[in-house]
Amino acid sequence: MLYLVPTPLGNLKDITLRALEVLQQVDVILCEDTRTSSKLLQHYNIQKPLSPYHQHNEHKIFEHVADQLAVGKTMALVTDAGTPGISDPAFLLVRECNKRNIKVECLPGPAAFVPALVNSGLPINRFIFEGFLPLKKGRHTLFTQLATEERTMVFYESPVRLLKTLKDLVAYFGADRPCCISRELTKMFEENYRGTLQQAYDHFSSKAIKGEIVMVVQGKEKFVHSSVE
């Protein structure tokens, strides 16, 4: 059996009792970075074998992992932070398990886009999640398509690329488009900056940017025609 176990975004208290129970019971824990996962396990006094499973090796080993699951091993898959499969490895292994009728169970838990979206103050009745944006190929096409998107949009971004992406969003969406930029969620220096895209660009241009970023951008407002009869 394979368990997908969400892990804290930063605050180690943000883990469920069930997640801790599963991590204590499995045979092996597949993890994105053994150093990061070791800190969490040590904090909760969990001693289990760790095996690297990340974007650089998943294509090579997901079938081997499924082989081990098929002969009776029970494993948990975790990432450095958040829910496996949300802009992190999991899809290939889950699909392979489904093909082989190996049971997969995903526990509920942290995902960075949820608190960022909810506390943004932007409309959340309908939204789309785009994850990390293309670096080059397909970037122009995607921004052109999204410029007329009416639903609230959620993106992940790294601190080193935040200013470039904000500059691109200003160019494609307009300087006055409302947004909320969240970083260091659940940590001591959490920041949620609310304003327009241009204001966000100016704000982050004047400071050192640290931590993973969640960008929430309001969709294009629908123009409603009215007539008087």
143-186 tens-digit pLDDT: 999 999 999 999 999 999 999 999 999 999 999 999 999 999 99
pTM of the model: 0.91
Is the pLDDT at 59 greater than 90? The verdict is yes
Is the pLDDT at 121 greater than 90? The verdict is yes
1-48 tens-digit pLDDT: 999 999 999 999 999 999 999 999 999 999 999 999 999 999 999 999
Domains (range + CATH), the chain:
2-106 (3.40.1010.10), 113-217 (3.30.950.10)
- Confidence tier at 223 by pLDDT (50, 70, 90): low
Whole-angstrom CA distances from 51 to 8, 34, 105, 138, 228 are: 19, 7, 19, 34, 68
Helix pair 162-173, 197-205: axis angle to 10 deg: 160
Residue with tokens 């407002």: 221
Sign of CA dihedral 119, 120, 126, 130: negative
Q: What is the pLDDT of residue 224?
A: 47
Query: Which tokens hold the place of 22?
Result: 């599963």
Query: Which tokens hold the place of 40?
Result: 């969490």
